[in-house]
Amino acid sequence: MEIKQIDGGVTSALGFRAASVAAGIKYKGREDMALVFSDYPCVLAATFTQNVFAAAPVLYDREILKNGNPVHAVIFNTGIANAGTGLRGRETNLFMAAEMARELNVHPDEVLTGSTGVIGYQLSEEPIYEGVKKLKERLDRGPDTDRRVAMAIMTTDTVPKTAACSFEVDGKTVTVGGMSKGSGMIHPDMATMLSVTTTDAKIDQYVLQELVKESVDDSFNMISVDRDTSTNDTYIVLANGQSGVKIEKDTKSYELFREALRFVCISLAKQMAADGEGATRMMEVIVTGAKTHEDARILARSVTASNLVKAMVYGSDANSGRILDALGYAGVDFDPDLVDVTLLHEDEMMLLVQDGVVCRIDEEKATEWMKEKRVSFLCELKQGREGATAWGCDLTHDYVNINGDYRS
Amino acid sequence: MEIKQIDGGVTSALGFRAASVAAGIKYKGREDMALVFSDYPCVLAATFTQNVFAAAPVLYDREILKNGNPVHAVIFNTGIANAGTGLRGRETNLFMAAEMARELNVHPDEVLTGSTGVIGYQLSEEPIYEGVKKLKERLDRGPDTDRRVAMAIMTTDTVPKTAACSFEVDGKTVTVGGMSKGSGMIHPDMATMLSVTTTDAKIDQYVLQELVKESVDDSFNMISVDRDTSTNDTYIVLANGQSGVKIEKDTKSYELFREALRFVCISLAKQMAADGEGATRMMEVIVTGAKTHEDARILARSVTASNLVKAMVYGSDANSGRILDALGYAGVDFDPDLVDVTLLHEDEMMLLVQDGVVCRIDEEKATEWMKEKRVSFLCELKQGREGATAWGCDLTHDYVNINGDYRS
pLDDT digits (tens, 9 = 90+) for B369-381: 999 999 999 999 9
Residue B60: strand, helix, or coil:
helix
Predicted model pTM: 0.80
Q: Which of residues 207-226 of A touch B (CB under 8 A)?
A: 226
CB contact under 8 A, A83 and B326: no
**How many contiguous H segments (helices) and E segments (strands) does chain A have?**
11, 17
Please indicate if any CB of chain B lies within 8 Å of the CB of A308. Answer: yes
A228: pLDDT strictly greater than 90: no
A299: pLDDT strictly greater than 80: yes
Q: Which of residues 4-33 of A touch B (CB under 8 A)?
A: none
CB contact under 8 A, A325 and B120: no
Evaluated on CA atoms B209, B212, B218, B219, the torsion sign reads negative
Q: Are A141 and A13 in contact (CB under 8 A)?
A: no
A170: pLDDT strictly greater than 60: yes
A298 contacts: CB under 8 Å, gap ≥ 6 = A330, A331, A332
Sequence letter at residue B75: I
Q: Where are the beta strands (DSSP E) in A24-160?
A: 33-48, 71-80, 111-118
Q: Give the per-residue pLDDT at A286.
A: 95
A408: pLDDT strictly greater than 70: no
Least CB–CB distance from A321: residue in B52, B83, B336: B83
Sort B76 into a burial class: Cβ within 10 Å, 0-12 / 13-18 / 19+: buried
Q: Compute the distance between CA of residue B309 and CA of residue A391 in angstroms, rounded to an integer.
A: 23
Residue A398 is given by DSSP the state H
Q: State which H helix or E strand residue A94 sits in.
A: helix A86-104
A230 contacts: CB under 8 Å, gap ≥ 6 = A49, A51, A182, A185, A186, A188, A193, B325
User: Stretch A27-49: mean pLDDT, rounded?
Assistant: 93
Sequence letter at residue A333: D
Whether residue B396 lies in the annotated active site: no
- pLDDT band, very low/low/confident/very high, at B218 (cuts 50, 70, 90): confident
Range of A2-6, A327-331, B16-20, B254-258 with top mean pLDDT: B16-20
Q: Give the per-residue pLDDT at A402.
A: 84
**Which is nearest to B282 in space by CA: B313, B306, B327, B309?**
B313
CB contact under 8 A, B228 and A329: yes
Share of chain A above pLDDT 70, in %: 97
- pLDDT band, very low/low/confident/very high, at A352 (cuts 50, 70, 90): very high
Each residue's pLDDT tens digit, B327-356 = 998 889 999 999 999 999 988 999 999 999
B128: pLDDT strictly greater than 80: yes
Q: Compute the distance between CA of residue A324 and CA of residue B84 in angstroms, rounded to an integer.
A: 8
User: Stretch B346-367: mean pLDDT, rounded?
Assistant: 93
Least CB–CB distance from A317: residue in B89, B229, B406: B406
Q: Give the per-residue pLDDT at A276.
A: 85
Side by side, which strands form the sheet with A357-358?
Answer: A357-358, A348-354, A340-345, A374-380, A282-290, A386-393
User: Stretch A177-194: mean pLDDT, rounded?
Assistant: 72
Q: Compute the distance between CA of residue A370 and CA of residue A281 in angstroms, rounded to an integer.
A: 9
Q: Give the per-residue pLDDT at B403.
A: 83
Q: Compute the distance between CA of residue A392 and CA of residue A303 in angstroms, rounded to an integer.
A: 9
Residue A17: strand, helix, or coil:
strand
- pLDDT band, very low/low/confident/very high, at B42 (cuts 50, 70, 90): very high
Q: Give the per-residue pLDDT at A277.
A: 85
- pLDDT band, very low/low/confident/very high, at A298 (cuts 50, 70, 90): very high
**For testing contact with chain B, the best of A298, A340, A403, A405 (most B CBs within 10 A):** A403
- Nearest-CA distance B139 → chain A (Å): 34
Using an 8 Å CB-CB cutoff, list chain B residues near A232.
Answer: none
User: Stretch B145-151: mean pLDDT, rounded?
Assistant: 96
Mean of all residue pLDDT scores within chain B: 91
Least CB–CB distance from A53: residue in B54, B84, B336: B336
Using an 8 Å CB-CB cutoff, list chain B residues near A395.
Answer: 400, 403
Q: Give the per-residue pLDDT at B40.
A: 94
User: Stretch B155-179: mean pLDDT, rounded?
Assistant: 91
Q: Give the per-residue pLDDT at B14.
A: 95
Mean of all residue pLDDT scores within chain A: 91
Q: Give the per-residue pLDDT at B190.
A: 44
* Strand partners for B75: B35, B113
A31: pLDDT strictly greater than 60: yes
- Nearest-CA distance A146 → chain B (Å): 30
- Backbone torsions φ then ψ of B252, nearest 5 degrees: -65, -40
Q: Give the per-residue pLDDT at B66.
A: 92
Q: Give the per-residue pLDDT at A190.
A: 44
User: Stretch A25-46: mean pLDDT, rounded?
Assistant: 94
Q: Give the per-residue pLDDT at B194.
A: 84
- pLDDT band, very low/low/confident/very high, at B119 (cuts 50, 70, 90): confident
- Higher confidence at residue A218 or residue A15? A15
C-alpha dist (Å) from residue B191 to A61, A213, B154, B215: 43, 38, 17, 10
Q: Give the per-residue pLDDT at A329.
A: 87
Sequence letter at residue A58: V
B191: pLDDT strictly greater than 70: no
Each residue's pLDDT tens digit, A97-119 = 999 999 999 999 999 999 998 88
Least CB–CB distance from B50: residue in A321, A329, A399: A329
B19: pLDDT strictly greater than 80: yes
- pLDDT band, very low/low/confident/very high, at B291 (cuts 50, 70, 90): very high
Q: Are B78 and B154 in contact (CB under 8 A)?
A: yes
User: Stretch B314-324: mean pLDDT, rounded?
Assistant: 92
* Strand partners for A46: A236
A191: pLDDT strictly greater than 80: no
- pLDDT band, very low/low/confident/very high, at A216 (cuts 50, 70, 90): confident
Please indicate if any CB of chain A lies within 8 Å of the CB of B175. Answer: no
CB-CB neighbours of B347 under 10 Å: 5
CB contact under 8 A, B406 and A312: yes
Using an 8 Å CB-CB cutoff, list chain B residues near A55.
Answer: none
- Higher confidence at residue B398 or residue B104? B104
**For testing contact with chain B, the best of A186, A395, A399, A400 (most B CBs within 10 A):** A400
Please indicate if any CB of chain A lies within 8 Å of the CB of B407. Answer: yes
Share of chain B above pLDDT 90, in %: 70
B326: pLDDT strictly greater than 50: yes
Q: Give the per-residue pLDDT at B407.
A: 60
CA angle A353, A227, A208 (to 5 degrees): 100
C-alpha dist (Å) from residue B114 to B24, B194, B341: 16, 7, 40
